[in-house]
Chain A
C-alpha cells in the first residue's frame, strides 16, 4: 500500500523530466543517426539522398577533421591535468587551517557561475589588451603577448581559460571528498608519526578515489565537448588551429551545409566520448577503496 502510493509520486515527478529528456535528447539523437546515412544540405525542401555508410568512410580522409581530433585530444589531456591539479591544490588549501578559507572557496568557485561565452569574451579582452600591456611594461614580450593570434599558444590560452572556469567546480568535489575522510584515521596516523606527505599519499589520496572518479569523468567529458569557450575565445582560429570537435561538426553542418556528413561526425564524436569516459570510470572505480 505504502509502496504503491510512492510509485505514483515517483511517476509524477519523473514524468516531466523524462518527457523533456526524451524530446530534447533521445529523439533528436535517434533522428541524427538516421540523417547520418544521407547526403543532404540541411534545407528542408531540398532532396535527401541515401548514401549508406559513405559519410562514415569519408571521415577517415578528412584532414581537417583528423586535425581537429588531434587538437581536441591534446586539449583534453592538458585540460584534465591542469583542472584537476589546480582543483585539488585549492581543495587541500581551503580545507587546511587557512583563515580566509571560506572567502577563498567562494572566489575560486565564482568563475564557474559565469557562462562560458561571457568568460571567453572577457578573456579575449584580457589577452588582447592586458597581456600586451604587461608585455610592454615588463619587457617579457615572449610570454605576455596576445596568445589568441598565435597558432600554438591559442590552444594553451583555451586550456588556461577552461581551467580558470572549471577548477572551482572540481574543487568543490574534492572538498566533499576530503571532508568525508574520517578524522580518527588522520589522528591515528599523526600519533604514529606520519609526515604530511605520508598522510597525503597513503590516506588522503586512496580515500579520495571516488572523488577522482567523478572529477575526471566531469573534466574529461566537458573538455571533449567544449564549444562555448572555444567559440567566444578563439572562434576556432587562428587559421583553424583551435577548431575543436564540436565546432568542427557545427562548421561542417552549417558552414559547408553538409548536414548528413556532419551528423556522421557527431555520431563518431558521441562514440568516442562514451568510450573514453566509460573506460576511465571503469579504471578509476576499480581503484576505489572501501573503508
Chain B
C-alpha cells in the first residue's frame, strides 16, 4: 500500500508542477501588460517587429536598440528570408503570437489582413507620405512605405551604353554581341520574383490603366495573348532565353556576384541590390536603365513594402507600435537610418535624401522627373508570382522549343488559376 501511495503522490506532484509552470507563464505575460497601463508605461512595454527584408535586418536591430536606449521601450526584431513571409505572418497571427508591427507588400495583402491592420490616417507623418504611395484600405491609411524602390536593368557602364538597350532590336543585338564575347548579357536568378515577378510587371504597367486592365483580365474580357505589349514581352523573353545561360542554376547571390565580377553586363534587379554590390567593392560604374519593352524609357518605381501596425493587440501595445513608427518617421535618428543605413529612397517628403548610392539616385531622378511606370505587380492576385508564374517561367526556360507566344498563353492559364 505504501508503494502505491508514493506513486500517486509523485503523480500528483508532477501534475501540480505542470499546472504551476503553465500558470506562472501566463501570469508573467498579463502582469507585464497591466503594469504598462498604469505605472511607468515606457519601461515595461515591449513591441515586436516582423519584417521581410534581409538586407536591413542588422540595421533595423541597431535602430531598435537606439530606440530602447532613448525611450526604454523594448523592441524585438524578427527576421525571415524570402518568399514565405506572408505565410509565416499568417501562422503567427493565428496562434496569437503576432508581431505588433508587420509588413504588407500591397493592396491585395492588405485586403486580406483587413481585420488586423490599424488605422494610421491620423498619425502626424501620414500627410507627408509622397502622393499615391500610401497603402489604403477603404480610404484609411493602413501602411506606410518602407521607401520607394525601382527596378530595371542594372548595368555595367563599361560594357553597356544606354543606347545599346533602347528598343527591341538594339536589346537583342546587344545580347548577341555580349554572348559572342562570352559575357552574360542579362542575368536573372531563380527566385520567383527575380525570375518572373518583377520582369512580368512591364507589359502590365504599360497599359493605359493597369488597374482596369487587371480587372478585365480577371473577369476574362481580355487575354494577355491578344494584347500587344504581352506579345512583345514574349519576344523579349525569347531573346533572353536564346542568348543567356539558364537562370534556374543561378541564385540571387550568384546573379549579383557574377555582375560584380564583370561576368554579366546587366542584371534585372532593383536599387536594393546595391547593398550587395557595395560589399563586393566593384571597380566599375553601375547605373540603372529602363527595360526597353515597347521602347519605353521609364523606370518601374513603386513601393515594395509597407509598415503596418497590428490593431488586434491590446491598446497599450498598439499605441507603443504607433509611437515607434512615429519616432522613426519624425526623429532625426529615424531619418538617418532610413536613408543612410537602410539605403531607402525615402517615400516621405519630409525626409531629405543626400548621398544616395548610384542605383537609388537613378530611381530618385526618375521619380522626380516623372519618368516612371507603376508597379502593376502590387495589384496582382495574392501569391500569384511564387505559385503560378514561377512554375510557368521555369517551364519556359527549361523547354528549348517553347516560344514566347506559348509562354504568354501559359501565363494566361496561370492567371486563370490564381483568380478562380
Residues of A within 8 A of B (CB): 1, 4-5, 8-9, 11-12, 15, 41-46, 128, 146, 149-151, 237-240, 251, 254-257
Taking chain B's interface residues, is the majority helix, strand, or loop, or is none over half, making it mixed?
Answer: helix
Of the candidate stretches B3-11, B24-32, B211-219, B338-346, the one touching chain A is B3-11
Given A4-B4, A255-B87: A238 and B115 interface contact (C-beta under 8 Å):
no
Whether the pair B87, A254 counts as a contact (CB closer than 8 A) is yes
Compute how far the CA of A150 lies from the CA of B14 in the bound complex, rounded to whole angstroms: 55
CA distance A237 to B115 in the complex (A): 34
Residue interface mask B89-100, A partner, CB < 8 A = 1 = 011011000000
With beta carbons under 8 angstroms apart, the residue of B90, B112, B248, B312 that contacts A238 is: B248
Write the nearest CB–CB distance from A77 to chain B, whole angstroms.
24
* Cβ–Cβ contact B93 & A43, under 8 A: yes
**Shortest Cβ distance from B84 into A: residue:** A254
Please determine whether A239 and B392 come into contact, CB atoms closer than 8 angstroms: yes
Known contacts A8-B7, A254-B84, A255-B87; decide if A43 and B394 are in contact (CB<8 Å): no
Enumerate chain A residues within 8 angstroms of B121, measured Cβ to Cβ.
Answer: none
A12 engages B387 (CB within 8 Å): no
For this complex, 6 residue pairs linking A to B, each with C-beta atoms less than 8 Å apart, are A1-B1, A45-B115, A149-B394, A149-B398, A251-B387, A255-B387
Distance (whole angstroms) from the CB of A30 to the closest CB of chain B: 17
| B395 located at the interface, meaning its Cβ lies under 8 Å from any Cβ of chain A in the complex | yes
A239 touching B246 in the complex, CB below 8 Å, given contacts A45-B115, A255-B383 = no
CB pair B11–A11 under 8 Å, yes or no, is: yes
Q: How far is the CB of B56 from chain A (nearest CB, A)?
A: 24
The answer to whether A256 touches B248, judged by C-beta atoms less than 8 angstroms apart, is no
Residues of chain B contacted by A128 (CB below 8 angstroms): 249
Q: Which residues of B contact A146 (CB under 8 A)?
A: 249
Tell me if B112 and A43 are in contact (CB < 8 A): yes
CA distance A200 to B90 in the complex (A): 56
Q: Which 4 A-B pairs have CB atoms at the shortest separation, nearest pair first?
A: A8-B7, A45-B115, A254-B87, A239-B395
Report the nearest B residue to A253, measured CB to CB.
Answer: B87
Residue in A15, A45, A151, A257 whose CB lies within 8 Å of B116 = A45
**In the complex, residue of chain B having the shortest beta-carbon distance to the beta carbon of A2:** B3
Contact A149 B116 (CB under 8 A): no
Pairwise interchain contact A255-B246, C-beta atoms closer than 8 A? no
A15 to B91, CA, bound (A): 29
In the bound complex, residues from chain A placing their C-beta under 8 Å from that of B390 are 237
A257 near B383 with CB under 8 A, answer yes
With A and B bound together, what is the CA distance between A125 and B97 in angstroms?
Answer: 35
Proximity string of chain B (236-250) to chain A, C-beta cutoff 8 Å, 1 when within and 0 when not: 000000000010110
Would you call A43 and B115 a contact (CB within 8 A)?
Answer: yes
Contact assessment for A9 and B394 in the assembled complex, using a CB-CB cutoff below 8 Å: no
Known: A43-B93, A149-B248, A149-B398. A240 touches B7 (CB 8 A): no
Nearest-CB residue, chain B, relative to A63: B417
Please indicate the chain B residues that have their CB under 8 angstroms from the CB of A239 in the complex.
Answer: 391-392, 394-395, 398
Q: What 0/1 readout, one digit per residue, does chain B (325-357) give for beta carbons within 8 Å of chain A?
A: 000000000000000000000000000000000
Give chain A residues whose Cβ lies under 8 Å from the Cβ of B246.
149
Residues of chain B with a CB closer than 8 A to A11's CB:
11
Nearest CB on A from B237, distance (A): 15
